[in-house]
Each structure stands twice: as structure tokens, then as C-alpha cells.
Amino acid sequence: MIKAAILGHGTVGSGVYEVFEMNAEKIARTVGEPVEVKYVLDLRDFSHLPYGHKFVNDFSVIENDPEVSVVCEVMGGVRAAYDFTKRCLLAGKSVCTSNKELVASKGDELLRIAEAHNVNYLFEASVGGGIPIIRPMIQCLAANEFNQICGILNGTTNYILTQMIKNGVAFEDALGQAQVNGYAEADPTADIEGHDACRKICILSDLAFGDKFDPEAVSCEGISRITLRDVECADRLGCVIKLIGRAVRCADGTAYAFVAPHLVPKESPLAAVEDVFNAIMVEGNATGDVMFYGKGAGKLATASAVCADMLDCIAHREHRRRISWGDGSQKLLRPLDTFVSPWYVRYQGPRAALEAALPCESVREVGGELAASVSALSTADLKARIAKLEGHVISNMRML
């Protein structure tokens, strides 16, 4: 009988307990013996639950129990989560997490500690919730260099954009709906300003390129400035607007990484990803494009990914996974100024001026304004041309 512990009994933590109960038979079949959750750490009172006796509020009980070989950290945040994760690893316990903030900011250090103590620090659930992405990248696509990663990484913003696109709901109202439906938090900043997606693209970049991509340094633009008019212009250009986390490898091993709303052509498989669903398109230099799709959040989906990591630690407990990346000293992140891409430009002013200033491919008149698709320009070049442009550029976004 394997003993496990859960740190944090919120949405994901209670889901992890539920998955271990619900699929106990399948789990025992998978690892060859039953797995029991021995402790749940939470400061709140859960004594009314059938497993209320398993709750502890003193972390050291778990830390000092040699029977516990694997721990899941689903507390969120970085302070206590960081401290407890480190102490578990130092005590020779593997840790599995859905905590993208911690993995993005301290993953390199925690992976080094795990390696030094011959245990695992696994985080499949930190990107894409229940969608398998971390392990496919590091194992199934191990024989590839990653040319590009391009993903809809945040369900809340995708829900809001879907409401705007499908039902003509304005941003503020769509955000309100998302909050009512439990898809957005009372303070939605981390979602709508792209910080959540940014942590995720950093984790994927760390894995793909082998050195730390600091979320503080990665350019991050959210969706709060997108209007229904932008949605309409995108539609007229054959596109939908999606918040995309992107990482693009350059020939010298450096890479661009950023989060920004993009116009996505309707033919792209990413365009069809709606509501709270996530999808991650990975381009390997041998395998071409592969896409992973599913619910990027949700109690049982995320919990089942954490559980799968725990089962992996148990089934292969004498053998660590080789996962690591550098501390950021390789400085792989390229400034976005030189990143070349086609653009969408929404403009009020004389069409001749617009076409003289920018290499327009297609220009549509939408409600007295002009919506143009512009062929590939660097970010700096676009900005410079716009600065000199007579008339008013209302908005611009990259096109995928």
C-alpha cells in the first residue's frame, strides 16, 4: 500500500481525493498496488467529511512521516507552496503539482533539488489542466527540436472571446458572465491581462529550449482592450481573435516568447477552439504540427493530471524522470522588437495613406473604418510606420 498526501483542499485538492476514490481499482491496476491518501493538509475545518480524520494542519506531520512517498501540492501561490515543496523534496518525497506560478518562477531550482535527492518534481497539470502536454513534449516529441509552440492557454479569456465572437456580447458583459459561471475569479486580472497564459508559455518554453524563461521578462498583453468592432473586423478578414501564448525558436537557439491576442484564420484548428477549452499546437522539426485539445481547467480534469503524475512517481519510483532546465543565465529570450509577423491594423483615415505606409494585403471598410491585413513586418518596423502614419490607428494585433 502506497501512502500519499495532498497539500491544499481547494478545488483541485478535493478533486485529487475524489479521483483516488473514484478510480481506486484502475489506479491499483496501473501501479500494481493500492494507493491511499494518508493526509490532507488544510487549515480550514473539514471534519464533517467522511475522510475528515485525514486532515492535518501541521505540515511537519507529513514531512516527517517516512511512509508518505509522494505528495501533491495544489495550494497555489508561491510562498508556503515553495517552502513545503522544497521540504518534501529534501525529505525524499516526490512532489506533483498544478501550481503554474510556482513552476514558472521556481521550477529550475525545485527540479535541481529533486534531482539531487533522487525524487521527482512533476507538473503535467500546470499547463492545459487535464490535457496531456508536458509529458508528450518531453517524451513523445523528444527526438524533435521545437520550432514553435502556439496555444490557447487560458480558458477564461477564451470563454470571453467566444461570447464576443459568437453572441456579440461586449467584453465587460462577457467577463461578468464568466464570473457568474465560475470561469473567472472576482479579481480577473491574472486571466484577462494574460499573466496566467504567460506562466504557461514560460513553462513550455523552459521545457522546449532548456533554460528558464522568466514570466517577469516575457511580453504579455491581455484582451481587455478588444472591442466588438475588432471582432467584426477580424471576421471580415476571415479570422477570429484568440489570446495566444507563443514561443518561436530562432536558428541560434534563442527564442521569442510572448502572450498577445492574435487574429487566427478560420481554417486554423486553433480557430475552432471555443469556450473554456484550451489547445496547444506544437511544431516539431521532424513531426510537424501536432495539437493537444481539451478542457484547460476544471476540478476532475486537473486533478486527474496531478494523479497521473503521482502514479508515475509510484510506478517508477526507483527511477527519476529526466526533466530540468537552466537558471536563465543563457538569456535565450529575444526582445520582441525584431519578431516578424503579419499584422491586422484597424485605422481611421485616408485609405491611400494607409496603403502607402503599410504593405496591405487586404483592406475592408467596416463601419466607416478600415480593417487591413498587412504582410509580415517586425514589431519595431510596424510601430515606426504607424508613428508616421497620417490618420488614427485604433488597434493592431498580430495575425497567425
238 sits near a copy of itself (criterion: CB under 8 A): no
Least distance (Å) between residue 281 CB and a copy of itself: 8
Structure letter (DSSP) for residue 139:
I
Stretch that binds a copy of itself, among 44-52, 108-116, 194-202, 295-303 (CB under 8 A): 295-303
How far apart, in whole angstroms, are the C-alpha atoms of residue 9 and residue 7? 7
Nearer of residues 11 and 378 to a copy of itself, judged by Cβ: 11
Query: Is 272 one of the binding residues for a copy of itself (CB under 8 A)?
Result: yes
Distances (CA, A) of 97 to 180, 202, 214, 272: 27, 16, 19, 29
What φ, ψ does residue 6 adopt, rounded to 5°?
A: -115, 125
Alpha carbon of residue 279 to chain centroid = 10
Q: Is residue 30 part of the contact set for a copy of itself (CB under 8 A)?
A: yes
Contact between 6 and a copy of itself by CB under 8 A: the answer reads no
Determine if 140 is a binding residue for a copy of itself (CB under 8 A): yes
Q: Tell me how far, at minimum, the Cβ of 276 lies from a copy of itself, in Å.
A: 11
Sole binder of a copy of itself in the list 295, 334, 351, 364 (CB under 8 A): 295
Residue 54 among the catalytic residues: no
Footprint (CB under 8 A) of a copy of itself, residues 198-217: 210
Cα–Cα dist 371/262, whole Å: 14
Q: Does 142 bind a copy of itself (CB under 8 A)?
A: yes
Which range of residues in 52-60, 211-219, 231-239, 266-274 is near a copy of itself by CB under 8 A?
A: 266-274
Q: How far is the CB of 144 from a copy of itself (least distance, A)?
A: 5
DSSP type of residue 194: S
Asked if 300 interacts with a copy of itself (CB under 8 A), we say: yes
Site stretch for a copy of itself (CB under 8 A), options 141-149, 162-170, 184-192, 332-340: 141-149
The answer to whether 78 contacts a copy of itself (rule: CB under 8 A) is no
**What are the phi and psi torsion angles at 336 (to 5°)?**
-75, -15
Pairing label, strands 68-73, 239-249:
unpaired
Which residue, 132 or 176, is less far from a copy of itself as judged by CB? 132
Nearer to a copy of itself, 190 or 400 (CB): 400
Kindly state the smallest distance separating residue 155's Cβ from a copy of itself, in Å.
Answer: 12
Distance in angstroms between the alpha carbons of the first and the last residue of the chain: 50
Residues 94-133 that bind a copy of itself (CB under 8 A): 124, 130-132
- Among candidate residues 54, 100, 106, 200, the one labeled active-site is 200
Alpha carbons 247 and 58: distance in angstroms, whole number: 41
Residue with cell 481554417: 267
Give residue 324's Cα distance to chain centre. Answer: 18
User: What is the smallest separation between the CB atom of 349 and a copy of itself, expressed in angstroms?
Assistant: 37
C-alpha cell at 210: 532548456
Contact 69, 94 (CB under 8 A): yes
Q: Is 27 an interacting residue with respect to a copy of itself (CB under 8 A)? A: yes
Residues sharing a CB contact under 8 Å with residue 70, sequence separation 6 or more, in sequence order: 2, 4, 5, 93, 94, 95, 96, 310, 313, 314
Counting residues that bind a copy of itself (by CB under 8 A) gives 55
Can residue 141 be called a binding residue for a copy of itself (CB under 8 A)? yes
Phi, psi of 367 (to 5 degrees): 55, 45
- Of the candidate spans 220-228, 235-243, 307-315, 345-353, the one that interacts with a copy of itself by CB under 8 A turns out to be 307-315
Show the DSSP H helices in the chain as ranges. Answer: 11-22, 24-31, 59-63, 79-90, 100-116, 134-135, 155-167, 171-180, 189-192, 195-209, 228-236, 299-315, 351-357, 379-388
Q: Is 319 in the site for a copy of itself (CB under 8 A)?
A: yes
Shortest distance, CB of residue 91 to a copy of itself, whole angstroms?
Answer: 23
Q: Determine phi and psi for 327, rounding to 5 degrees.
A: -90, 5
| Contact status: 29 vs a copy of itself (CB under 8 A) | yes
Using CA atoms, how far apart are residues 376 and 104, in angstroms rounded to an integer? 31
Catalytic annotation, residues: 200
- Can you give the binding site for a copy of itself, defined by CB under 8 A? 15, 19-20, 22-23, 26-27, 29-30, 32, 124, 130-132, 135-136, 139-145, 210, 269, 272-273, 284-295, 298, 300-301, 303-305, 307-308, 310-312, 315-316, 318-319, 322
